[in-house]
Amino acid sequence: MTSQNKTMHAQLTKKYADATIGPDWSIIESTAMTLMRNAAISIPVDFKDGIRDATKTERNPLSLFVLEQISENYTTAETDGRPMCGDTGLPRWYVKIGEHCPMGAGFVRLERTLRRATAEATRKIPLRPNRVHPLTRKDHDNNVGIFAPEIDYSFEPDVDWMEITTVHKGGLFGSDYRMLFPADGIDGIKRFFLDTFVEFGRRGMACQPAVVGLGIGGCKDTTMRIAKEAACLRTVGDRHPDPQVAELEEEIKSLGNRIGMGPMGFVGNSAVIDAHIEVAYAHTGGMPVAMHTFCFASRRATARINANGSVEFRSDPKWFTEHHRREGF
């Protein structure tokens, strides 16, 4: 390094260090670790209540037995401090950054911190090291690798906090995509849902009861992404602000519970804990639709880190703000 570069480097370092009045990096690291643990061990309260409500209406003795065991498993996980499911899913991150959040050390540091926390948590909790190279099957035993964990961003105007959510989604079964057209209409969406859910619900491959997330519109990748966000980042019982979408959410939920299928694909009526739908503007000729199911190990945890460094933990990601779903500029 030339001496001129050295001076510049020192100045820049100082500048960034001064800017880190807000979230300090050790806070982000410890917050991320706590989130990983909370997600793996504690079922979000909205989902737990959803299972409890299903227990009240399920009539089939075998399905009822399964629901009761699921609730008991949540309790054992919390009491013993062990992951609720042996498959601890694919941990990923959703970060919402306030317009005035003092991001002193910047995004690269943030990503490194989240990647490191993923690896640390995998060893400490422990989580199952699920991430492997798709071709060589190489496993670093830490859930970190190429494009793993995924980190998605959203921004929020007028605020100075940062919110971090981790989602540990399991399940190889229960996701699908179909290119529909305007002529397919709402019926086409319902049929796609039924085809997918019946297929993957048999033998309980989707580990239902599940939250169904549907994405309608967008490009193929957007469709898949918003379907996943709908399944994983909303809470049981909440409805889309657009009344037409909200109505479809209700219809999909009741349709799913009329299939006659319960948890594990036994006879029953409690396969869908809730249905959430997100829409995105699509190509004028098409209406792509995608679906994700969030299994009964519906693991998510959120923290808000305030500019003054205080941290608040919660289980509702509040990801879909008005700004996040905006239609205008």
Enumerate binding residues for another protein (CB under 8 A): 61-62, 65-66, 69-70, 72-74, 76-77, 80, 82-88, 122-130, 139, 141, 170, 172-173, 178-181, 183-184, 187-188, 190-192, 194-195, 198-200, 202-205, 207, 255, 258-261, 263-267, 295-297
Q: Which H or E run contains 216?
A: strand 210-217
Residue 283 contact partner, candidates ligand SF4, another protein, none, CB within 5 to 8 A by sort of partner: none
Kindly state whether residue 170 participates in binding ligand SF4, applying the rule CB under 6 A.
yes
Kindly state whether residue 295 participates in binding ligand SF4, applying the rule CB under 6 A.
yes
Q: Quick one: DSSP state of residue 21?
A: T
CB of 137 to another protein, least distance (A): 8
Kindly state whether residue 89 participates in binding ligand SF4, applying the rule CB under 6 A.
yes
CB of 91 to another protein, least distance (A): 12
CB of 174 to another protein, least distance (A): 11
Q: Which H or E run contains 169?
A: strand 162-169
Question: What are the angstrom distances between the C-alpha of 192 and each of 211, 215, 307?
Answer: 16, 12, 45
Q: Which of 171, 215, 217, 268 binds ligand SF4 (CB under 6 A)?
A: 171
Contacts made by residues 254-258, CB under 8 angstroms, sequence distance 24+: 255/190, 255/193, 255/194, 256/193, 256/197, 256/212
- How many Å apart are CA 223 and CA 219, to the nearest integer? 6
Structure tokens at 24: 């300090």
Residue 259 contact partner, candidates another protein, ligand SF4, none, CB within 5 to 8 A by sort of partner: another protein
Residue 264 Ramachandran class (φ > 0 left, ψ -120 to 50 alpha, else beta): left
Q: Which of 101, 164, 207, 227 binds ligand SF4 (CB under 6 A)?
A: 207
Structure tokens at 185: 């209409």
Judged by CB under 6 A, the stretch of 109-117, 124-132, 289-297, 317-325 that binds ligand SF4 is 289-297
CB of 297 to ligand SF4, least distance (A): 4
Which residues fall within 8 angstroms of residue 150, CB to CB, at 6 or more apart? 92, 93
Residues that bind ligand SF4 (CB under 6 A): 85, 87, 89, 170-171, 207, 295-297
